């Protein structure tokens, strides 16, 4: 009977996807790896390389803990470090318990006080830190999701209904959870004019697209469940610093990831690959927030969003020309 280990990483989509190389490395040791995520991400569960369990709020905590206790896990790795996972790991009381520390106390206080630019002592990628907590080596990270042939066939049917030929369109994901991460309208207009293929916008926003955006609007046209497959069938993805950015990397689609207010130095860049390009202009005031939450520039200029449009589009187009 194989040993069992439990990884706790409830949120968010990008953070969950950044655990994939660690999950695969644990499994390669012959260990039965179990992952606990929030129920809001259940539509992604079948694609993850682990046995997935769902947390659905404090009311589910005792029931979930009871299920996990039956696994008799040798180790619990808490990659979240929130009250919910603190309570859960305490209830499991595994022989080995390790906790991911995002940053030291002084750095946390600086971030909470809105001090900037944020300069942390440990600038390693988050996926490397996750692996370290879980005691595995991921020098050659495998970030891939498990997409079955039947699942991809269903996604191809959706493309047929949308009249989109496979690998003949580029997906744009301008949205993000915070305003400082979102792709500006001016860049979207420039991209749709400067790219060689049809562009289509994905996301969950319900606002009307600006009049200057002529890209096909695929927002809310399919579920989160089908998003990995649709992205895998695209020629490329251009995304803000967001969950779909990490999803594009996880399904192997060529990716241009653009960071505005946030910065890869915080560790949340996509896992490196030959077909991944990260664009982040260095600035003395950047990053001014952990998650791009500043809707007003503390310096009064928002230079991080006033990027060189022709230069950026040309850089992306030249990069993607290697793959499409």
pLDDT digits (tens, 9 = 90+) for 309-322: 999 999 999 999 99
For the entire predicted model, the pTM comes to: 0.95
Other C-beta atoms within 10 Å of 319: how many? 17
Superfamily of domain 4-134: Glycogen Phosphorylase B; (3.40.50.2000)
What is the Cα gyration radius of the chain? 20
Asked if residues 88 and 61 have their Cβ atoms less than 8 Å apart, the reply is yes
Burial of 96 (0-12, 13-18, 19+ CB in 10 A): exposed
Q: What 3-state DSSP class applies to 123?
A: coil
Contact at 8 Å (CB) between 202 and 173?
A: yes
Taking the C-alpha atoms of residue 8 and residue 77, their distance in angstroms, rounded to an integer, is 6
CA dihedral 68, 99, 43, 266 (to 10 degrees): 180
Q: What is the pLDDT of residue 102?
A: 84
The tens digit of pLDDT for each residue in 32-88 reads 999 999 999 999 999 999 999 999 999 999 999 999 999 999 999 999 999 999 999
- Other beta carbons within 10 Å of 44: 21
Give the whole-angstrom CA distance, residue 76 versus residue 78. Answer: 6
**Cα–Cα–Cα angle for 125, 223, 26, rounded to 5 degrees:** 35
Residue 169, pLDDT score: 98
- Matching CATH topology for 4-134 and 153-320? yes
Quick one: pLDDT at residue 49? 98
Q: CB 301: neighbour CB atoms within 10 A?
A: 11
Whole-angstrom CA distances from 300 to 42, 108, 155, 184, 265 are: 41, 24, 45, 17, 23
CATH number among 3.40.50.300, 3.30.70.20, 3.40.50.2000, 3.40.50.800, domain 153-320: 3.40.50.2000
Distance separating alpha carbons of residues 93 and 75, to the nearest angstrom: 9
For residue 156, what is the enclosing H or E element?
helix 149-161
Domain boundaries in the chain? 4-134, 153-320
∠ Cα 83 88 93 (to 5°)? 125
pLDDT at residue number 108: 84
Three-state SS sequence of 264-293: HHHCCCCCCCCCEEEEECCCCCCCCCCCCC
Distances (CA, A) of 197 to 68, 170, 242: 48, 6, 23
pLDDT of residue 19: 98
Positions in the chain short of pLDDT 50: none
């Amino acid at each position: 009977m194989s040993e069992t280990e439990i990884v706790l990483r409830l949120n968010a989509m990008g953070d969950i996807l950044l655990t994939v190389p660690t999950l695969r490395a644990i499994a390669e040791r012959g260990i039965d790896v179990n992952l606990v995520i929030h129920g809001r991400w259940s539509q992604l569960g079948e694609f993850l390389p682990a046995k997935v369990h769902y947390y659905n709020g404090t009311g589910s905590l005792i029931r979930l803990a009871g299920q996990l206790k039956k696994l008799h896990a040798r180790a619990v790795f808490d990659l979240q470090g929130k009250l919910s996972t603190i309570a859960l790991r305490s209830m499991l009381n595994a022989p080995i318990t390790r906790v991911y520390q995002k940053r030291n106390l002084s750095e946390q206080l600086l971030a909470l006080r809105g001090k900037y630019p944020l300069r942390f002592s440990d600038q390693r990628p988050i996926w490397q830190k996750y692996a370290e907590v879980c005691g595995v080596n991921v020098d050659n990270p495998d970030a891939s999701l498990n997409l079955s042939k039947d699942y991809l066939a269903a996604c191809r049917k959706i493309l047929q209904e949308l009249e989109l030929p496979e690998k003949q369109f580029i997906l744009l994901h301008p949205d993000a959870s915070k305003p400082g991460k979102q792709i500006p309208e001016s860049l979207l207009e420039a991209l749709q004019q400067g790219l060689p293929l049809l562009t289509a916008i994905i996301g969950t926003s319900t606002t009307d697209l600006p009049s200057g955006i002529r890209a096909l609007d695929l927002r809310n046209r399919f579920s989160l469940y089908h998003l990995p497959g649709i992205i895998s069938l695209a020629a490329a993805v251009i995304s803000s610093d967001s969950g779909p950015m990490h999803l594009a990397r996880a399904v192997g689609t060529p990716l241009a990831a653009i960071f505005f207010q946030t910065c890869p130095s915080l560790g949340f860049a996509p896992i490196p690959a030959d077909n991944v390009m990260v664009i982040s202009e260095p600035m003395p005031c950047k990053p001014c927030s952990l998650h791009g939450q500043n809707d007003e520039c503390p310096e009064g200029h928002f230079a991080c969003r006033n990027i060189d449009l022709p230069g950026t589009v040309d850089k992306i187009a030249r990069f993607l020309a290697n793959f499409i």
